[in-house]
Amino acid sequence: MKIYVGNLSFQSSEDELRDLFGQHGNVDEVAVISDRETGRSRGFAFVTMSDDNEARAAIEAVNGTEVGGRTLTVNEARPKAPRSGGGGGGGRW
């Protein structure tokens, strides 16, 4: 299950999240999302856990806890919405 972790401190690391969620089960992957241009954290991450029951337990335990001075928002990640295929300009032939 993929888990969304929001309201992260900009100093939060992947290792810190792996340790936090690892207390509740096996963590497969952690990705702290960063800005393409600045490389700075955007304040959210995704954690992937293979066992859905462990993932639900982790969501329940970690949601609303304070890490790095910020209260985390944790829930099951929603599928990425498809982008509308807006084309380029409508130039003439």
* Block mean pLDDT (10 aa), the chain, length 93: 97 95 97 93 96 98 96 94 65 58
pTM comes to 0.84
Q: Tell me, what amino acid is at 79? A: P
pLDDT at position 31: 97
Cβ-Cβ contacts under 8 Å for 78 (sequence gap 6 or more): 4
Q: How far apart are CA 40 and CA 42, in angstroms?
A: 6
pLDDT at position 71: 98
pLDDT at position 82: 79
Q: What domains lie within the chain, and their CATH numbers?
A: 2-76 (3.30.70.330)
Q: How far apart are CA 53 and CA 59, in angstroms?
A: 10
